Amino acid sequence: MTSKRNRKFNLIVDCRPLSNAVAQTALGAGTEIMDNYDDCKKIFLNIDNIHVIRDSLNKVREVLKNGDITTNLYNKELLYKSNWLKHISTILTGVDILVKSMVLNNNHLLIHCSDGWDRTTQISSLVQICLDPYYRTIDGFVILIEKEWLSFGHRFNERCGHLQNETKFHDNIENLNSNQATQAFRQVTNHFKHKKSVKFVSPIFQQFLDCIYQLIRQYPNKFEYNERFLRRLVYHLYSCQYGTFLFDCERERKEHDVETKTRSVWDYFKSRKIEFSNPNYIKEDVNVKVNDNDGDDDQIIYPKVKDVKFWFQLFGKSDGELNYNPYGFENSGGEYVDSNLDSSSSNSAIVY
């Protein structure tokens, strides 16, 4: 007889906080009634919505713009109170739970949020990166973004505010000193300033890349692409120099003939592959089958949710300036949920 602990089941993953899902019932969004789903469990990952994430990055920006964060205790506290690292850790906690549920329990996952093109895409992509070393190669990463973000309709134009800001952001990162790099970042984050048109603008893809940055830090030999690859991708997300991230869906890109009228950002990266490659990368055989119920497989990586840091290179600061934390300010997203999903509650996930 199979014990309840080891029994396989389908896992319905709602990326939203439980309170948000309940509140949206009045709008027809709601959430699944589990009495209708045999052999299924549901988990809420408690990932906040686009408005919370936008406000969080705005708070980081304001702290970096307005004061010294190296010696000023108040500014350092404000930086951590932005909750940016907490949001990163919350996402990685959800990814860790789902990777373990698939590897250790052979669970099938159905992942959704409100619309399916923000939190759902983040979680689905990160789970695949952790499970499959192919997506940790440059070629694999390109395919992942094309299928999970572009083909499935992440609204790049709307989220990035491409048509809502007159500021032109030109890349000159190789020649920037620290102050100039900070100014460049400010130009990017101007997309998220408060204005009427900002309602649906949010750094969702940037947050996703920040999560990958954490994984590269934690597993420096597991990724073919390097930190600079991610940082340059953030820049080109907003630069509009290439057609890859223009418009909100495939239909719009086809209507505007993006494929023939613009260049792909991937051509740029592949033409300078050495520059964006990790010299410490240890290539893995992507054709080797992952062993079932073996959580020790070397090809699988598990996010270390307590080990998250500010992406100091992106903000034009030093590691010490942003991440030196002698005061013990909290930066974690919460506790783990047991990998067998028997736990009934957590600060970062709720299981039903």
Which amino acids are annotated as binding site, given as ranges?
49-50, 113-119
CA distances from 220 to 123, 217, 224, 281, 302 (A): 21, 6, 9, 7, 13
- Is the separation of the CB atoms in 13 and 110 below 8 Å? yes
CA dist., res. 111 & res. 297, Å (int): 24
- Asked about 113 being catalytic, the answer comes back as yes
CA dist., res. 59 & res. 53, Å (int): 10
Which residues belong to the annotated binding site for substrate? 49-50, 113-119
CB atoms within 10 A of CB 38: 8
The arrangement of strands across the sheet holding 350-351 comes to: 108-112, 10-14, 40-44, 350-351
- Is the separation of the CB atoms in 106 and 137 below 8 Å? no
User: Which sign, positive or negative, has the C-alpha torsion 335, 324, 187, 257?
Assistant: negative
Residue of 15, 113, 130, 160 marked active site: 113
The runs of H, that is alpha helices, within the chain are 18-23, 50-66, 73-81, 84-105, 119-131, 138-145, 156-160, 178-189, 204-218, 227-239, 250-255, 258-261, 265-271, 319-323
CA dist., res. 51 & res. 199, Å (int): 8
CA dist., res. 342 & res. 331, Å (int): 26
39 in the Ramachandran plot: left (φ > 0), alpha (ψ -120 to 50) or beta? left
Which residues are marked as active site?
Answer: 113
